[in-house]
Amino acid sequence: MRWFVISPLPEGVPKPALDATARERFAAFDGARHIIDQTRHPGMHETHSIDIICLLQGEASLILESGETRLRPGNVVIQRGTNHAWSAHGGPALFLAVLIDRDLRHG
C-alpha cells in the first residue's frame, strides 16, 4: 500500500527532457525497467501487479495506450498490468494505491 502525488507536467519543457526526467525518477526506485513506451506520455509505464488506485484529492486522468479516462476524487481504478500513466489537471493529485503481486507463488 502506498500513496503518491502527481503534479501537472511543466509547460514549455521539451518532450525529450520530460521523458528523460521520468526515466530518472523511475530509476531512483528501481522502476526504470517498467518504462516501455513513452509515446503518449513521459510517465507511461507497465506494472506487473494488480493495482487498486483511488484518487483522494485533485483531478487527474488515467492515460492508456488506447485512450484516457478523467477521474475525480473518490474514483477507483483497477490496473492489471497495462501500460499507463497519470496526468494531473490544475494542480497536484493525491492517490492511494494497493498493489497486489500477480504471481503469489513469489510472495
| Residue linked to cell 530518472 | 24
Higher pLDDT, 71 or 107: 71
Global pTM value: 0.84
CA distances from 22 to 26, 50, 95, 96, 104 (A): 6, 22, 18, 20, 29
Question: Domain spanning 2-106: which CATH class is it, in words?
Answer: mainly beta
What CA–CA distance (Å, rounded) separates 33 from 45? 9
pLDDT-based confidence at residue 7 (cuts at 50, 70, 90): very high
**pLDDT tens string 37-95:** 999 999 999 988 899 999 999 999 999 999 999 999 999 999 888 899 999 999 999 99
**Domain extent listing, the chain:** 2-106
